[in-house]
Amino acid sequence: MGTRGLQPCGAVPCRAVPCRAVPCRGAAQAPMEYVSTRGGVGAVNFEGALFSGYAPDGGLFMPQHIPLLDGDTLRRWSRLSYPELVKELCSLFITDGLVPRSTLNDLIDRAFSRFRHKDVIHLSRLKDGLNVLELWHGVTYAFKDLSLSCTGQFLQYFLEKKQKYVTILVGTSGDTGSSAIESVRGHKNIDIFVLLPKGLCTQIQELQMTTVIEDNVHVFAAHGNSDEIDEPIKELFADVDFARKYNLMSLNSVNWSRIMVQIAHHFYAYFQCAPSLDTTPLPVVEIVVPTGGGGNITAGCIAQKMGLPIRLVAVVNSNDIIHRTVQHGDFSLSESVKATLASAMDIQEPYNVERILWLLSGSDSRLTKTLMERFSVLKSLKLPEDLHRKLSETLRSCSASDEDIVRAMQRCWEENRYLLCPHSAVAAHYHYSQPDSTPRCCLAPASAAKFQDALLRAGLVPPLPPEITALTTMETRSTLLERGQDWAQALRERIKVVAQRWEAQGNRSALPGQREISGQGVTQT
């Protein structure tokens, strides 16, 4: 894309980040670097952010500046396919000197080569203005295949270039684990360790993880909920010496690469649903985002700051911390995680809220650090009045009960003969509750085929693609983690055993850039 269509600092008011962080572009692209939301470490390049997951100070990496796009660029991009949009967006956040544009294009093409739909994603236009953007045509029938397939290719590019090795830790509430596994399965220089909540994923979700019998895939089924399985992972990352020695990284949506790719959903949704791009100003489209950990809604906030004229709605299930935060500034845990039909959204601690607060506070890392550390200790936080106002201006929100989900699934089937997964039904519930005719796009994160119990509860017949049917007859492999057991220690021991195998083969070496990014104020090269 080069520099055409990028607005200089004075072109539009910058509310997301200070103007000094939005560079005026000259003849060449300014290097894109990433900073922690908590401000305790120096800037890193894309490679450093990719391999870190959490920043060493406990924060999350974000771009040091957000590129601003003008109307002409948006109109030109409206003619692009989804893969072409991903390439354009990634080229803004990955410096050409780090990954040449031609190589970047090849990596993204390779990432999408296993998708079942020729367009990778697809918009279904249904009755009463219900537009459903199907993000689930990847290998595991979930939207996370989109970002993780690209992230897996980025990882391989750097690891093969430098002949390095990495250990991936992933906690999953359902779909992340299988998508992460598929993105790196069989890779000789990656081992992946996945923790899933035993009995709280659907049978299909669990089988998609436990039936992958590869030497580099290690699945743990823990008797705990989604938030509880995050705790041992956080503990291992907090042990800096252990994390450095065994080259730990995350593929949850703490990883910036996941957020970056997901920005494209919002651009594509906008271009598909905007009535016309011939007007000035451009029309507004409402994007309805089923929300759990907050990665997709964070990507939407970034798309807004890039100049995309969208209105965002975060829709949640009965685990409604994001809804309460938007409505009342109450970022506080409930007594416990509630098990719902939309199981992948059964999350009480949506860690990407930290990125949104950082964006809306004008990149105020000191405030973000104070707020998140207070929440970490008290599990309760009242947002400052000004920050809450900015959040409520940026997002709308809605909460749906299991009954709401079932009714939305039934209505969509009756009116369209179209099956929604329970997460997509949360978005449809919001649409059905709105009397206006606002152009709107509901993101559909997963195929209904993965959620047979929810479909049966709605009195609907679940589809069974052959790939899913085959899972029930395949060999499975996983390690059970009981309540009361030290899960972090069990992970440590397995990681050490795997490391010994690699050391014995003479394959193990340091993570690229690990030494550099662990220091204060050092820019990774």
The pLDDT score that the predictor gives to residue 234 is 86
Radius of gyration of the chain, Cα coordinates, nearest whole angstrom: 22
Closest CA to 460 of 447, 469, 451: 451
Residue with tokens 């989804």: 82
The pLDDT score that the predictor gives to residue 274 is 96
Q: Please indicate whether residue 87 is annotated as part of the active site.
A: no
Q: Where do the DSSP E strands lie in 20-130?
A: 34-36, 61-63, 122-125
Sign of the CA dihedral 462, 463, 465, 469?
Answer: positive
The pLDDT score that the predictor gives to residue 29 is 56
Residue 504 corresponds to which tokens in the numbers above?
Answer: 């014995």
Q: Which residues, in sequence order, are bridge partners of residue 125?
A: 131
Q: What is the pLDDT along the chain (525 residues), one digit of tens a residue?
A: 333 344 333 323 333 333 333 433 433 457 899 999 999 999 999 999 999 878 889 899 999 999 999 999 999 999 999 999 999 999 999 999 999 999 999 999 999 999 999 999 999 999 999 999 999 999 999 999 999 999 999 999 999 998 888 999 998 877 889 999 999 999 888 999 999 999 888 888 899 999 999 999 999 999 998 778 989 998 998 888 998 899 998 888 889 999 999 999 999 999 999 998 988 899 999 999 999 999 999 999 999 999 999 999 999 999 999 999 999 999 999 888 898 999 889 888 899 999 999 999 999 999 999 999 999 999 999 999 999 999 999 999 999 999 999 999 999 999 999 999 999 999 999 999 998 888 999 999 999 998 999 999 999 988 889 999 999 999 999 999 999 999 999 999 999 999 887 666 655 444 444 433 332 222 222
In this prediction the pTM is 0.87
Angle ∠(157,230,495) on CA atoms, nearest 5: 55
β-pairing, 440-444 with 380-382? unpaired
DSSP state of 460: -
2: left (phi over 0), alpha (psi -120 to 50) or beta: left
Q: How many CA atoms lie within 13 A of 417 on its CB side?
A: 0
The pLDDT score that the predictor gives to residue 185 is 93
Residue 439 corresponds to which tokens in the numbers above?
Answer: 């152009």
The pLDDT score that the predictor gives to residue 287 is 98
Please tell me the distance from the alpha carbon of residue 507 to that of residue 492, in angstroms, as a whole number: 20
Which one of 87, 118, 127, 144 is the catalytic residue?
144
Alpha helices in 361-401 (DSSP H): 365-378, 385-394
